[in-house]
Structures are given as structure tokens and as C-alpha cells.
Chain A
Amino acid sequence: MWRYTLRRILQAVPVFFGTTLLIYAMVFALPGDPIQALAGNKPVPDNVLHTLRERYNLNDPLLVQYGKYMWGLLHGDLGENYTGQSVSDMLAGRWPVTARLAVTAWIFELVVGIVLGVWAGLRRGRLADTLVLGGTTLVIAVPVFVLGYTAQLVFGLHWRIFPTAGVDDGWPVSYLLPGIVLGAFGLSYVARLTRTSLAENLRADYVRTAHAKGLRRARVIGRHTLRNSLIPVVTYLGVDFGALMGGAIVTEGIFNLPGIGQQVFQSIQLKEGPVVVGAVTVLVLIFLLVNLLVDLLYGLLDPRIRYE
């Protein structure tokens, strides 16, 4: 188990270099001149443009730029954006917001999703099952911005249950509504996965055996069926946590949450390579870590799985 873990961590090193170079190259390849775009419509002398390009290494070829960036990174310097703000400050201000949002959405997904899934799975083909399947299909079909703006107007503006936007009310109040909107899609998946997986396993021979042995129903379902039914669900939840961290661009926009998603979106528009790479690198690391945790969790859920 420990050897397996170490091997996985070592594998992350080339992945890290590969992804950062790839992202840097992609931002580099975007058309347009970020320095000119900063100035917009107002006149800027050539010498000022030139100075700024030199300052941010924009006159260098791609690999030299990337090399300079990496060199700084190894010294713990994440670089600056084109208005001279340090990237580490920018990200430090934004990670907490995104983390709170993602965790809120994730808990919502996990708890409500699994409960709905179990409820539907135990009542296969009955009204509860139909309701859950129908409702989740609807949620998956509605685009997130429709869901987000509607929820904001109804629950925020008209009914005043939640604040309309912003982070002024702190955690959890400010994050509940955006968390629910962000987690709605994943919740639907979790519910459907749980339901199907549980319904499959309930028909397995060992479940019949367990019943025949005279075990209580709750124990049969909780210990013998649900545990291994959750393997695909845990896989999905793990992958989805990374997606929640990086994919909250629309939700953060609607609810005016100054998180990472928005920062990446703005920085791509401004061609701020160091910011994009800095933010996405952290996301990559989170992805790698969560995937490792998920793989290790399998062993706890299903004793038949062993690590080599």
C-alpha cells in the first residue's frame, strides 16, 4: 500500500511538468497583444509598451519564457500579472472562496445525492424511483446559467431566503445558494449512479444469502450492499471535486464570488500566462491527490481490492 502510494506520487512529477508546459504553450498561442489590450483605446507610447513587454518577458520565445517562469517557481516565486500584482497574492485571496464553494457543493452532492439514490434504489420501479429519475434528468438538462439566475431571482431577490450575491455574509450563508446551484448537476449524477448500482447489487446472490442467514434488513443494505455499491459513486465524487474547484466559472460569475474560476477566465482573456498556469497547476495537484485518495478508498470499501 505504501509503495503503491509512493509510486503514484512520483508519477505526479512528470505530469506536473507536462501540464504546466502545455498550459503555458496554450496561453502563449492565444492571439493578441496583452499589453496593448491593457491600454485599450487610450494612446500609449511605444517605449512604454516595449518596457512592459520586456518586464514580463513577452519578447522571448516560448521555451525561454517557460524556463524563466519555472526558474521563478522553483524559488517559490509565482511571478506577476500584467498590472504588477503578485500571482501568489492573487491566488491566495481567491482559493479560500473557491474551496468554500466547492466543499459546500460537494457536501450537498454527497449527502443529498446518496440519500435520494438509496431511496430510489430501494423502491425500484415505484413512484419514488420515477420521481428521482425524472427530477434528476430535468436538472441535468437545464444549463447552469439558467438554473443560477433563476435561483438568484427566486430565492435571493423575491423570497429573500439567501443573499443574492457576494461573500459579505461569510460561510456558510453566502455559499449555500451558489453551492446548491453548482452541485445540482453532480447531485443528479450521484443519485442516479447510487440508485442503479444499489439496485443491481440488491439482486446479487450474497444479498439473498445474507437475508437467509436472518440478518436485519438495515444491516444487509448498509453493510453488505451499499458499501460496494458506492464504488462508482466514490469515483465520480472524487473526479467531480476537482471539476468543482476549476469549473465554477459560471456560478462564480452569477453570484459574484471572487474565486479561482473567475480569475482563470479573466486571465485567459488578458493572456496572463503566469496567472493561468499558477491557478491551473494547483488544480492539477488537487486532481492528482484526489484521484490517489479515491484509489486508496476502494480498498476500504471493497476488501477484494488489493494494491500492488
Chain B
Amino acid sequence: MIGQRGVNGRAGAGLAAVLLAASLGLSACGGAAASGDGTFVVGHSEPDHLVPANTTSSYSFDVLGGLFDNLMTLTRDGRPVPLAAASVDSDDQRHWTIKVKPGQKFHNGEPVTAQSFADAWNNAAYGPNAYAANSYFAYIEGYDALNPEDENAAPREKTLSGLEAVDATTLEVTLTDPFRQFPLLLTYPAFAPMPKAGLADLKAFEEHPIGNGPYMMSGHWERNRQIKLVPFPGYAGPRKPKNKGVTWKSYSGAETAYTDLRAGRIDVLQTIPAAKVPEAKRVLGDRFLSREMSTMDYLGFPVFDERFADPRLRRAISMVIDRKGINKAVYNGTYRPADSLLPSTIPGHRPNACGEACTYDPAKAKKLFDEAGGFAGTLELYFSNSQPTYEQWMRIVANSIRDNLGVQDIRFREVPASEYFSMLRAREEKGPYRQNWEADYPSPQNYLENMWGSEGNRMGWKNEEFDELIAKGNRAADRAAALKHYHAAEDIAIREMPMIPLWTWAGQGGRSERVGNVTITPFSTGLLATEVTVR
């Protein structure tokens, strides 16, 4: 029997508390979580791949984070610190010397060397392998030779010319351009090392990944069921597990996962469905986990369409969006209204950088709107059908545009999730569209360059000054100088407003009585599984 501490003193929760007390008391009978062997169970969605560079899915990262030690990792406030590396240094931000800590081992006993990283990255960057995170290696010199422009041509090379394992512990990396954020990029799961055995048989590796991290696989990947990880006895790094293992259990629906959390069949759930949050707060009490996230929603404009070419029009639309009101109405007040193009979790975020452009002010907005010459024709609003909340807030935005700017003809275009990104890629949208970005690594550059840079943005917005400032920031020798350039670039993007920042997401999770010290970072490091203590 598990001792039951008071859930909370509210009388309204009486029945729920009684039921919960009964359920916790009974959870010792049956249920995977109640085994009492020092392991704990986390519910999430099924990963797509377990070869580190072949996925950009956070559910895969959940598992990979325990199986692999990257060269660098992140502190809880998002700063890069060495993990498998002893040091990562550069004088000119272009030529980097990485020292790998000696004495590290893969789970199969193979030593972790500089070559382990070079092999893994070459494999990931090689175009014909078609890895999901292929483009993340474009910073390294020689990437183009592995990914020819002509789609039917065979690559000239098999390895990146910018990678050289000088000896067992020294990796020399040459980048195409100076890039100050490189140590941060190395925290991204795609930059994990691979053992020779894994590269020789990728099919087997997928079923049973061999990493160099604090946990190793216990048995194979049981598809659509679970992945069991147990501590790796040969682990010499700083992330020694404080528990006897973690099981990642797959759920196809968040509702059912939440029910299982309440039934004590799982110990940690990172995301409780929005509709269940008020109840979860009541029922879980101090076991309810609210957490910050680094995912931000935006409203992008097809700037290539003449009707949206005037920045004043775009700012006017931003100023009739009542971010605070939408947050209350749609997200129970848990999200954070945007005050900058970056989430507040990112080091380098400036409070209120967006100023009046992100402040609800219908009168000023109308004035700007009229100065820009108004809007003629049908305003079409695009969003995907993957979340019911998208339509909810889009309707509120549409009503505000109708009431405050006088645009009468507004249509909603709800597009199936499977088509949404193909549509944006082909530039077929005829009006503002919802889009979001989740940090790969916590740097302003990760948001600004990917979402506003001329190379990668979806709006068709081109601003040479902006690109130049980002490049300057990437070249800068010290952090303060880099931030100065990034901030100047951000100011341009706010002035021009090709994409409106809306709000930063927040996560609501929960834990069982059995586990303590549950930390979920807002970055790719996610749940710090090794830190969790089990009763």
C-alpha cells in the first residue's frame, strides 16, 4: 500500500480525492508502474526513428536523450556545456577543435573516439541516405558535395571535407562560414556519435540502438508499445541515473495516457490534453507539472502577394490581435502572449522588444490600416486541422479584423495536416497562415535565421540588411557582440512584420506519487530522465 498524502483541501475535489485515494491504494495490484523495482514509466507518442540523425521528432528525442551523450549539452537555463567533449574551441568561429573525453565507451564496449562522431555525421549528411536531419549538417564544409543541386546526380564525395579526426580524441571541424552558435548546434540530438557496429547494420541498430549515454536498451524496441532503458554500467559521464531505469510507453491518444496517469499505470506524462487541464489541476494537486516550452505560434503573410506588401497593413493586423484575451479564452491563460519574436526561455530574449506592434490597440491599428490603403477582396486565413484550438483562435482573430478594420469578407481555410506544409512550400496560400517554430537549440539565431532569413523563410520576404546582421552575429567573437547584431536584425523583422509573433506555448503534465525531482526543460533535452528519483 502506498501512503496517501492529502491531494488538496478543496471540498469540491472531495469525491475525486476519495476515488484517487482508493485508486492509489489499489495501484499496488497490477499495473506496470507499481513494480517497485526503482524504474519508472513515461507516457508519450511513438517515436519515428531511433537512428539519431534520422529524426526531428521530439518523441524520438525523449528516448535518444538517454541513449546518447552528445559532445555538448544544455544547462537548465539553456547554456551549452561540454558533455562527451572535454572542450570545443575556435579562434575564428570557423575552424573548431573538439577534444573528446578519453575513456568513454559505447554500450557494446566500443570506445567513443573522434572518428565515432565523424562517421555518424558523414552518414547523416550523405544526401542519398535521405536522413531527416540532413540539413542540420549544411554548416559543415563539404556538405554541398554530398548533396548535389541536381537531384539525379550522384554525390561527388562520401565524406564531409570539413571533418577530420586527427587522432582518437581530436576532431577538427571546418565550417562553410564562421558560426558562433556551433557549440549550441552540437547539443541537437542529430549530432550524436555512432559506433562502427551500428553503421555496419543500421536495420539492427534501429531495433536496438547502441549509444554512449547513461542508459542502454533493455531488449529491443517494442514498436507501438514501449522502449525499456536501463542504466549502462560502463557509463563514466556526469549524467549518472538516479533511478534503475525508464520505460517510454507509447500512446496513440493523450486522453488515454492521462487516464493511465490517474490510474497509476504511468509515472510521468509531459502533456495533458487541454480540455482536461482544469480537472488535472484539481485532481493531481502538487503532482501537476506546468512547464515552459520553446514553441511559438506565428501568423505569416504571403509577402509575395501584392495585397500584403505594405508593412503597415501587417502591423495593423498584429495590433488587432488580442493576445491576452485569446490566451484566456482558448488556452486557460497558460500560454504567454508574445512580446518579442523569441520565447522568453531563449537566452537573448528581450522583454517587450516588439513594443506597440504586439499590443492590442484597435484605434491605432485602424489608423495604420487606412494609411496602408486598406484591404480589398477576400481575406483567407490558413491553418491545419491538427489541433482544434487553431480554429478557435483564428475565429477570434477574424472577428477582431472584421469589427476593428472593417474587412467583411473573411474565409477560413482549414487544411489537412498532411497537406499543410506542402502547400506552404509550394506557396499556394493566398492569405495569412498559422505556423510555429520549436527551438532546435536555444539561440535567437535558430529562430531568426530559419524563419526570417532570405534562404529559408516561407513568406517570400527578402531583406538584405536583416541577412547581413544575422551573418555578422554568426561571425561575432563574443556573445554580447553577437546578441547586439541579432537584436538589430530582430528589430527590422518587427518593423516590417512579415510574420506576426502570437504566443509561446506552455506544457501541462503530471507525475505519480512514486517519482520525485521531475524536471522537463523547454529545450531538446526535454525530460531529464536521469535526474528522476523513484520511491
Instruction: Point out residues on A near B: beta carbons under 8 Å.
Output: 30-34, 36-48, 50-52, 55, 83-85, 89-90, 93-94, 149, 152-153, 156-158, 160, 163-169, 252-256, 258, 262, 266, 269-271
Contact = CB atoms under 8 A, between A and B. Distances in A.
Contacts of B132: 38-39, 42, 44
B259 A51 contact: no
A90 B263 CA distance: 29
A164 B265 contact: yes
A42 B436 CA distance: 10
Residue of B131, B418, B435 contacting most chain A CB atoms (<10 Å): B418
Contacts of A32: 416, 418-419, 422
Interface of B: 19, 22-23, 26, 29-32, 48-49, 56, 127-128, 130-135, 138, 147-149, 151, 206, 223-225, 249-253, 255-257, 259-260, 262-263, 265, 416-422, 425, 435-438, 440, 450, 456
B418 A269 contact: yes
Nearest to A263: B224
Given A40-B421, A149-B255, A169-B30, A45 B135 contact: yes
Given A37-B418, A258-B225, A47 B151 contact: yes
A43 B450 contact: yes
Given A160-B26, A163-B30, A83 B253 contact: no
Contacts of B32: 166, 168
5 shortest interchain CB distances as A-B pairs: A32-B419, A258-B224, A32-B418, A33-B422, A50-B151
Given A48-B127, A51-B130, A36 B224 contact: no
Contacts of A262: 252
Contacts of A45: 127, 134-135, 138, 147
A103 to B, nearest CB: 20
B30 to A, nearest CB: 6
Given A32-B419, A40-B56, A166-B265, A256 B130 contact: no
Contacts of B22: 158, 160
A44 B149 CA distance: 13
B224 A94 contact: yes
B31 A44 contact: no
B421 A39 contact: yes
B151 A33 contact: no
Nearest to A94: B224
Nearest to B147: A47
B253 A254 contact: yes
Residue of A32, A52, A85 contacting most chain B CB atoms (<10 Å): A32
17 contacts: A32-B418, A32-B419, A37-B417, A37-B419, A43-B450, A45-B134, A45-B147, A51-B151, A157-B23, A160-B22, A163-B31, A165-B265, A169-B30, A256-B256, A258-B250, A258-B252, A266-B252
B421 A156 contact: no
A290 B252 CA distance: 30
B179 to A, nearest CB: 16
Contacts of A47: 127, 147-149, 151
Nearest to B153: A47
A164 B259 contact: yes
Residue of B417, B435, B440 contacting most chain A CB atoms (<10 Å): B417
Contacts of A152: 256, 259
A158 B23 contact: yes
A53 B477 CA distance: 42
Given A32-B422, A37-B422, A47-B147, A166 B260 contact: yes
A287 B275 CA distance: 39
A66 to B, nearest CB: 21
B418 A41 contact: no
A153 to B, nearest CB: 7
A85 B224 CA distance: 12
A89 B221 CA distance: 13
Contacts of A33: 418-419, 422
Residue of B26, B49, B251, B255 contacting most chain A CB atoms (<10 Å): B255
A153 B418 CA distance: 33
Contacts of B256: 152, 164-165, 253-256
Nearest to B417: A37
A40 B57 CA distance: 9
Nearest to B419: A32
Contacts of A158: 19, 22-23
Contacts of A30: 418
Contacts of B56: 39-40, 42
B456 A163 contact: no
Contact of A271 (B26, B31, B418): B418
B502 to A, nearest CB: 15
A43 B127 CA distance: 14
A84 to B, nearest CB: 8
Given A51-B130, A160-B23, A258-B250, A44 B135 contact: yes
A38 B23 CA distance: 39
Contacts of A169: 30
A58 to B, nearest CB: 12
Contact of B225 (A36, A84, A167): A167
A32 B419 CA distance: 4
Residue of A36, A46, A153, A163 contacting most chain B CB atoms (<10 Å): A36
B204 to A, nearest CB: 13
Contacts of B127: 45, 47-48, 51
Contacts of A163: 30-31, 263, 265
A156 B224 contact: no
A31 B416 contact: yes
A94 B135 CA distance: 34
Contacts of B128: 51
A165 B133 CA distance: 34
B130 A90 contact: no
B253 A253 contact: yes
Contacts of B147: 45, 47-48
A116 B413 CA distance: 50
Nearest to A269: B418
Contacts of B259: 152-153, 156-157, 164-165
B246 to A, nearest CB: 16
A94 B417 CA distance: 25
A166 B31 CA distance: 10
B253 A256 contact: yes
Contacts of B249: 166
Residue of A47, A84, A157 contacting most chain B CB atoms (<10 Å): A47
A41 B263 contact: no
A36 B421 contact: yes
A258 B224 CA distance: 6
A34 B418 contact: yes
Contact of A253 (B31, B252, B417, B436): B252
Residue of A41, A89, A152, A163 contacting most chain B CB atoms (<10 Å): A41
A186 to B, nearest CB: 23
B224 A55 contact: no
Contacts of B436: 41
A229 B304 CA distance: 71
B99 to A, nearest CB: 30
B265 A52 contact: no
Contacts of A252: 252
A164 B263 contact: yes
A163 B266 CA distance: 12
A156 B450 CA distance: 46
Contacts of B251: 165, 256
Contact of A41 (B250, B260, B416, B421): B421
Contacts of A271: 418
